[in-house]
Structure 1
Amino acid sequence: MAAVVELDCVSKVYEQKIAVKDLSLRIEAGTMFGLLGPNGAGKTSSIRMMVGITMPDSGTVSLLGKPFARESLRRVGYLPEERGLYKKMKVMEQLVFMGQLRGLDPATAGKRAHAWCERLQILEAVDKKTEELSKGMQQKIQFISTLLHEPELIIMDEPFSGLDPVNATLLQDTLIDLKNQGRAILFSTHRMDQVEKLCDAICLVNRGRAVLAGGMREVKSRYERNHVQMSFEGDNSFLQHPAIAEYKDYAGLVEIRLKPHADAQDLLREASRKATVWKFEVMEPSLEEIFIQTVGEKIDA
């Protein structure tokens, strides 16, 4: 299957600073891709090369199965991290204008904008000026403007910024629907929990380089299942077991990190001798733990 977007050994240098170095990734239709990394890692620089804001110093960018060409951007939706709405324009006027910039006639833009405003629960705001709205409401308007022309590739830089949990969930559900319709979606975020729930594949960048990439399940399989969550009642002296590297005891609910290659079953046997164990679950590491471990290793190196 041809990639909707593909970077092949892309590099970008600003004066003496390496923003991106030999980065390769590909995203196919109907998949959600997470581009992760600490501040200054090269995420936004990579996205800007995908949409032609800047050009790579070396390497190639392909869009929709072809070498990068500006006409392909008609089939791309881009939500930048820095928002760009006109404060004095009313919401519906602004969305229709944004749709026209993407090649839609005013009637089609207005019809689609109304449907999206209804879906994202902001119909009451369509006759208000942007400056009258909350940051979260403005974020949803910008989100709608990204989707009006029904792009095949959707690129979002920190899309959950400024959203409360209810609206973040609404946005997540919308992205899942779009993915199921066959759209390719790339987003960057610091919210590891959202990446873990939503993404089929990830690329973790640090200091401009990819340090971890692949399908979500395949990435997690590289790391040892050395986390235990358990609930118990009784003597907690088993928490001094030599297999335990560290633990957090929340009054009967314990989160444990085991030492490398430790035997979780031996810990369970010891705990069962001293307490009543209600729950004992060996868990894979969270993406946040993998993120910290991987970036920490690379920084320390």
Structure 2
Amino acid sequence: MLQVENLNKRFGSMQAVKDESFTIQDGEILGLIGQNGAGKTTTFRMILGLLAPDSGTVLWNGQPFSRKVQDTVGFLPEERGLYLKMSVEEQVCYFAELRGQKPAVTKAKLPEWMAQFDVKGKPTDKIKDLSKGNQQKVQLIATLIHDPKLVVLDEPFSGLDPVNASLLEAGIERLKAQGATIIFSSHDMGNVEKISDRLLMLRQGETVLNGATNAIRESFGDTRIFLQSPLSQTELLAIEGVTAVKENHGRFELTLADASVGQTVFAAATKNGYIKEFSQQPPTLDEIFRLKAGVSHE
């Protein structure tokens, strides 16, 4: 279990992180979100002991971080770095040995991890001969192959296409099933919403959202409706409490002033009987992020 309690960090006049607190249980995934400069990387560096906080504590299973604990950590920094003249096997074994895993163990595990991430290459291939995408996968493997108990991933989905992003999600879920504590940052709210049990959002160093992902979404109310109905966009906008209507190939997305308006919309849409779709939901995580960050949808 990772406990972060009242972390503060200032760089000159800038408060990078202010009174930040959260807890991640074993087998739980926390998504850390926020705009560039919100304090995400600073948070990671303080958790890992790479940067000393001005005040506050970071505890792992109730104790301060020690060298022994560091060996059970898997860290993927935002700034990627591999030794291009090494082979895949040499590179992964080197990083795993720094965490205390013997090369023979790493070599035995490597083919399975390469298959899971669909690396196009062999363990004996030089890093420089791999594509950029496959190099990124190798660094992910080097981060995870020693089965860390605490996994810290700074923008792990950056540059990955949807297929490879799904492979990474599967790798993260695999570690979660083994009981690992996982924290990652991402600007892709789809990834965050899909795999995060908990969510923490920072804005200029301050915590603006903190809690279970589903609970945060539901706290904003079921103010979105997805609808396929004979009603026109004009007729839907005329319903009191409907604040916006978007149409895409005959499918409508409605924004409501209040979740209770959904009953009125449903009654109007079904007045002549069966309709193909009616789904009332809370805002997406992307919409909530834009709202809390003060970013326009336009």
Task: Give the TM-score normalised by the residue count of structure 2.
Answer: 0.93
1: distance between equivalents of 2:194 and 2:28? 13
Answer with 117-126 or 287-296: which moved more. 117-126
SS of corresponding position for 1:233 = coil
Q: Is the 8 A contact 1:151 1:183 kept in 2?
A: yes
Change (3 A) 1:74 1:264: same
TM-superposed CA distance for 1:236, in Å, is 4.6
> In the alignment, which of 17, 23, 35 is matched to residue 26 of structure 1?
23
* Aligned-partner Cα distance in 2 for 1:243–1:15: 48
Name the % identity. Answer: 38
What amino acid maps onto 1:199 in structure 2? S
Q: Which one of 244, 247, 269 corresponds to residue 246 of structure 1?
A: 244
Residue 215 of structure 2: aligned partner: 218
**Partner SS for 2:100:** coil
User: Any stretches of 5+ residues in structure 2 without a counterpart?
Assistant: none
**Is the deviation greater in 257-266 or in 23-32?**
257-266
The alignment partner of 1:124 has SS state of: coil
Aligned to 2:262: 264
Divergent runs of 4+, >6 A = none
Distance in 1 separating the partners of 2:44 and 2:99: 19
How many equivalent residue pairs? 295
In structure 2, the residue matched to 1:292 is 290
Question: Residue 42 of structure 1 aligns to which amino acid in structure 2?
Answer: G
Partner of 1:280: 278
Q: Contact 1:236/1:274 (CA < 8 Å) preserved in 2?
A: no
Query: Equivalent residues in 2 for 1:218-237 (5 A)?
Result: 218-233=215-230, 235-237=232-234
For the structure 1 residues 276 and 48, does the alpha-carbon distance in structure 2 shift closer, same or farther, using more than 3 Å as the test?
A: same
> In the TM superposition, what is the alpha-carbon distance from 1:234 to its structure 2 partner?
5.7
Partner of residue 65, structure 1: 62
* Aligned equivalent of 1:194: 191
Partners of 1:236 and 1:119 lie apart in 2 by 46
SS in 2 for 1:162: coil
Please tell me the root mean square deviation across aligned C-alpha atoms, in Å.
2.0
* SS of aligned partner of 2:141: helix
The aligned residue for residue 148 of structure 2 is 151
Does structure 1 residue 56 correspond to structure 2 residue 46? Answer: no
Cα separation, 2, equivalents of 1:234 and 1:202: 37
Deviation at 1:85, TM superposition (A): 0.5
Q: Does structure 1 residue 78 correspond to structure 2 residue 75? A: yes
Match in the other structure for 1:87: 84
1:219 Cα deviation (Å)? 1.3
Return the alpha-carbon distance in structure 2 between the equivalents of residues 205 and 235 of structure 1.
Answer: 40
1:9-28 Cα deviation digits (max 9, x unpaired) = 00111122211111001111
Deviations along 1:229-265, one digit per CA (max 9) or x if unpaired, are 0002365542232321111112320001012355221
Report the Cα distance in structure 1 between the residues aligned to 2:103 and 2:221, rounded to whole angstroms.
Answer: 55
